[in-house]
Amino acid sequence: MALQRITLENFRNHASTTLDDTAHFNLLIGENGAGKTNVLEALSLLSPGRGLRRASIGDFARRQLQEETAGHFSIGASLVEQGQVSARIGTYTTPDRPTRRLVRVNGADATASALSEWHAVSWLTPAMDGLFTDSAGARRRFMDRMALAIEPGHAKSVSSLEIALRERNRLLEDRKDARWLDAIEAQIAQHGSQVSGTRTRLVAMLGDELSALPPEPFAKPLLLYRSGGPLDPAELLATLARERPRDRAAGRALTGPHRDELEVVMASSGQPAASCSTGEQKAMLIAITLAHGVLASSGRPSILLLDEVAAHLDPVRRTELFARLRQGKAQIWMTGTEMAPFDAIKEEAAIWRVSGGAVERV
């Protein structure tokens, strides 16, 4: 078990919600628009990043009539390991700083990246169904979210890399002294090699887990990591210096980890995932999620958020999904509009009925 005593205050359509006595399987049942996905989004914000919807911070706070409560929200949870509370983690904003997300761990201020040191959070939502036909940037974000399971400091490396790349673009445009570029490119090479190295290890580990899965009922994918530049930091540094004129003309760096790509093909046919049917793409995405769940639960506590997944699977795939999730160590949170798809696990699950931003234990 991973999260217990979860509280949401002024978050989306939840004025004040508490979920306690959680289990391995946790089900949120209710009509569309009731606030089920809002709970999953709140849990996703107990990790680095912008959450499963990638929303702006200003969109999280529940709209209030009273000025004194407008513009801020809070999310908190107790992290439980082996039956003992190991930490109380939370994220929030304040009325005077409604667009700055703050984090606390055990009552002390912390950074968002520090949350990944305590547990791993991953998710699968209907919006991700188009991942294989989406942009390369979307797949890089997908890799980086999964990478936190094997390297908690990955979020900080990615952030540092992005900051350094923006600074280099500015220096190129301003035509600053080359020594400034030397310094910032050294940072890009350092952080870039860390980011690429972690992504490489992630894809290799996922490949090992996927190879152990049976080909049915979920289509087995093959993953290939395509680097956007040299993996060796010295080579990347030399490339950045050599390509300054070209990058200045382009207005951005054309070589580096920010150009990485995750390629996915169906193992049985060799067909690129982007060209497969919608059902095949969904099956491969679930297979990757299940393989990652094994990696995420091998060390720190882990949470897996599955939004409206069961309802879109046939009975055979649904049964297999539950069987694999049951064998894993990750705490599972799932949403649905009705209980029928979850009949196989209802006796072992914690169940909440969600309506109008309020939850009631069933």
Share of the chain above pLDDT 90, in %: 72
Q: What is the pLDDT of residue 211?
A: 87
Q: Are the beta carbons of 118 and 108 closer than 8 angstroms?
A: no
Chain-centroid distance of CA 171 in Å reads 32
> What secondary structure letter does DSSP report for 263?
E
- Asked if omega into 341 is within 30° of 0 (cis), the reply is no
Between these two residues, 268 and 199, which has the higher pLDDT value? 199
Q: Report whether pLDDT(49) > 50.
A: yes
Mean pLDDT, to the nearest integer, of 92-106? Answer: 93
Q: How confident is the model at residue 66 (pLDDT cuts 50, 70, 90)?
A: very low
Q: What is the pLDDT of residue 65?
A: 44
Residue 304 has φ and ψ, to the nearest 5°, of -125, 120
Q: Report whether pLDDT(69) > 60.
A: no
pLDDT in tens, 204-243: 999 999 988 777 788 889 999 999 999 999 999 999 999 9
Q: Report whether pLDDT(257) > 50.
A: yes
The domain 1-119+300-362: what is its CATH number? 3.40.50.300
Which residue has tokens 């513009």? 71
Between these two residues, 343 and 175, which has the higher pLDDT value? 343
Residue 43 has φ and ψ, to the nearest 5°, of -65, -35
Q: How many residues does the chain have?
A: 362
Q: How many CB atoms lie within 10 A of CB 188?
A: 26
Signed CA dihedral, 304, 309, 310, 316: sign only = negative
